[in-house]
Amino acid sequence: MKGEAKAVTGDLIGTVLAVQANFYRVQLDVEETLPTTSLLCTRRTRLKKIGQHVIVGDRVVVEEPDWAGGRGAIADVQPRQSQLDRPAIANVNQILLVFAVADPPLEPYQLSHFLVKAESTGLDVVLCLNKSDLITTQQQEEIKTRLTSWGYQPIFMSVSHGINIDQVASILTGKITVVAGPSGVGKSSLINALIPRANLRVGEVSGKLAKGRHTTRHVELFELPSGGLLADTPGFNQPDLDCTPEELVHYFPEARERLAVASCRFSNCLHRDEPECVVRGDWERYQHYLDFLEEAIARQTKLNQQADPESTLKVKTKGKGQSQYEPKLETKKYRRSSRRTQLQELQDLYRDEES
């Protein structure tokens, strides 16, 4: 996070830690020679005119700082090394995926959904399992064996008992990390343990639904004492999969391992019932893959339909967020006439017969 402070005479380099309305809180690189390390900045009109957005994590050039007022202006944005869209964060190095092993209970299908979403970013994925003090050592071993077969080495921790917090901190040092996971698993508590001055609001788990309450409302980067930045993200229970059907298989480490040693017969294989498919087989998350594939196909079909108004498919909502696709009725001969039209046709027929 540290580096050369001055880009040009009088200008400084910093990282955007938070965005609120039209203001940006920027952490400057150099501490020793500056009156303050943080400025509240606006964006130059020129950036707005050229459509240059400024998001959390951006490396920016700040000019004409008003040290007394703690203000500055963002004059330029440096090229991004990576970017997440939901949430909007730039220059992220890794994703810290946090789940709980109990309270709320660990749900393999939900965890798989989050893992695939995290893999789709192309970033490194670190899996932490909180509240490990609530299960036995044997249960931990069973979970570890299962997730190892998925291609992950989980870190068992407990924020409330301080178990393995130092191990997590060492993985975050010197990097920009996004913390993700469902609500109520202890993400905010973990950040408070790593960065006490963050003082994030912590929610309780709903007793009726066994799900956590949403406590984080916006994205913000917090500076770790050991170096590095940590972003808390709004909690949600199920992330959307926005990949294409062809991309999906590459987000399963088990499938990647199979494809690394052999190839399917067909280059466009979707790994369902195609002959000589090397992915299809006896691995635990294969059914997850098939379920997620249906989601990806439905999404792709919907996008194609929106892009092509002449599409022969239409969306029919089934409730509970589900939908299906069925053929459109393209010509009038497939449509039933209204009662009014039928009555008018009968009246016209009678008139013709009388005349």
Residue 75 lies in a domain: yes
pLDDT at position 43 over 90: yes
Do residues 93 and 220 share a domain?
yes
For 217-230, how does the pLDDT look when each residue is reduced to its tens digit (9 = 90+)? 568 899 998 889 99
For 265-313, how does the pLDDT look when each residue is reduced to its tens digit (9 = 90+)? 999 999 999 999 999 989 999 999 999 999 999 999 988 887 765 555 5
CA 117-120-124 angle, to 5 degrees, is 95
- Looking at 232, 264, 291, the residue that finishes a domain is 232
Residue 351 lies in a domain: no
Do residues 59 and 105 share a domain?
no
Domain harbouring 166, CATH code: 3.40.50.300
Rounded Cα–Cα distance for residues 350 and 223 (Å): 85
Q: Count CA atoms closer than 13 A to 151's CA, side-chain side.
A: 18
Do residues 261 and 213 share a domain?
no
pLDDT at position 318 over 60: no
Q: What is the pTM of this model?
A: 0.75
Orientation of helix 108-119 relative to helix 286-307, angle to 10° = 50
Domain count, the chain: 3
